[in-house]
Structure 1
Amino acid sequence: MSYGLALDVDRIRREALQTMSAGPATTRYGLDTERVVSVLNDVVAAEVVGWLRYTRHAGSAERVDRSVVSELFTRHAEREMSHAVATAERIGELGGQPNFDPATLAQRAHTDYAAPDDGELRAMLEQNLLAARIVVSTYQEIARWLGDRDPTTRRLVESVLEEEEQNAHALAELLDA
């Protein structure tokens, strides 16, 4: 049994020519592009809500003289926004429109925005850890759903997932300290 790779470049070329006006190349993978865009817009919402939550918590932690935690929240907020922007760019590549509508962000996000009192540092850490764990689980499911049918989007989700796992780990360490 041979496991070698044999590419039929002529066939691939013919298929590529046939799909020149069909939109993004990803449509060839058998996914419903509108559904992928909808799922990714929910990711955008989750990331923007995460950015809002971390940004609020960073300011609160700074006011209670917890600069280490404030700096961590600030780094996490920056990651969340970069995730939202990267996901929005992918939505555009798929021919969709990124949805940053503030009126629907909270309903579409996988996580909640919570703002405990400034002095409740443990509550902030717990809320962010819960949100990170929710996002990790949902992004794992999204990556599995995408599978090999849209490897570009799956890799994006997996790269965001990796950073979210790092965020969760850092938050858990602070809670255990």
Structure 2
Amino acid sequence: MRKNISHTEPLALDETALEAAATHLDDGAVTPSYGPWRDGIVRLLNDALATELVCVLRYKRHHFTAHGMASPKVAEEFMVHANEEAAHADKLAQRIVQLGGEPDFSPDSLSGRSHADYDTSSELKAMVRANLVAERVAVESYRQMIGLIGDTDPTTRRLLEDILRDEEEHADEMKDLLES
């Protein structure tokens, strides 16, 4: 939690924490101040990773199976989103490794850990609707993760905030497609 700084107190770093950071060099950027939160954050990130991977698969399926008069434009948007979701997955996996965890790409557990559903719709409007639902679920899950992490891990919080911004944009784009 953030400490309120008084204008009369001199600013000083926690020397004990600095000394502790100089130990356990095999942990890389993960210092003892991550404490017991690290494992929980890695778990949250692995679930977000599963969500992003399921979204990549859903968007790619929709891209390749979309048909109808409006489908070329919509299919193109699906592929753009698939690529952006893949980039999110890469960033999440990288952060999991930085925290000393193992990114879980296991196909056997992806759909069970994902917050969003896979979709096999064949009608274009149903595809857009399914993607809008998934984006709204992603927005809510990232908002909750950001709240849970708070100030315990500012680097992960910023990463999640960046992804949240993209997911909100995706939801707006799907809404616009649904209305057109």
TM-score of the pair, normalised by structure 1: 0.89
Match of 1:159 among 162, 174, 180: 162
- State the shift of 1:59 in Å: 1.0
TM-score of the pair, normalised by structure 2: 0.87
Identity %: 38
Check conservation: 2:50, 2:114, Cα contact below 8 A: yes
Match of 2:130 among 127, 131, 135: 127
1:1-177 correspondence to structure 2 within 5 Å: 2=7, 6-8=11-13, 13-18=18-23, 20=25, 24-25=29-30, 27-61=32-66, 63-65=67-69, 66-117=71-122, 120-177=123-180
Check conservation: 2:50, 2:113, Cα contact below 8 A: yes
Check conservation: 2:53, 2:85, Cα contact below 8 A: yes
- State the shift of 1:7 in Å: 3.6
Structure 1, unmatched stretches of 5+, are none
Structure 2 residue identity aligned to 1:35: G
Question: How has the CA–CA distance of structure 1 residues 41 and 3 changed in structure 2, closer, same or farther, with 3 Å as cutoff?
Answer: farther
Q: Give the RMSD, CA atoms, in angstroms.
A: 2.1
Question: How has the CA–CA distance of structure 1 residues 39 and 26 changed in structure 2, closer, same or farther, with 3 Å as cutoff?
Answer: farther
- State the shift of 1:40 in Å: 0.6
Check conservation: 1:31, 1:149, Cα contact below 8 A: no
Question: How has the CA–CA distance of structure 1 residues 67 and 7 changed in structure 2, closer, same or farther, with 3 Å as cutoff?
Answer: farther
Question: How has the CA–CA distance of structure 1 residues 9 and 28 changed in structure 2, closer, same or farther, with 3 Å as cutoff?
Answer: closer
Structure 2, unmatched stretches of 5+, are 1-5
- State the shift of 1:64 in Å: 3.0
